[in-house]
Chains A and B, each alone.
Chain A
Amino acid sequence: MSAHPLAGAIAGAARIVSGAHVTWLDSPPEPGQTVYFANHTSHLDFIVLWSSLPAALREQTRPIAAQDYWERGLRRVLAVDVFNALLVRRRHSAGSDSGNAGEARETIAEIAAAMGEHTSLIIFPEGTRGTGEEVAPFKSGLYYLCREKPGLRLVPAYIHNMNRILPKGEFLPVPVISQVTFGAPMSAGPAESKAEFLTRARDAVCRLKPE
Chain B
Amino acid sequence: MTPIQLVFLFVAFATLWAAFMVVTRNNLVHAALFLVIALFGVAVLFVMLEAGFLAVIQVLVYIGAIAILMIFAVMLTRGDVDDIPDITNRYAGWVGLVAVLFFSSLVILMAQWPSFTALAKPILSSRDTIVELGTALVSPNGYVIPFEVASVMLLAALIGALVVARPRKGK
Pair from one complex? no
Tell me the B residues contacting A by CB distance below 8 Å. none
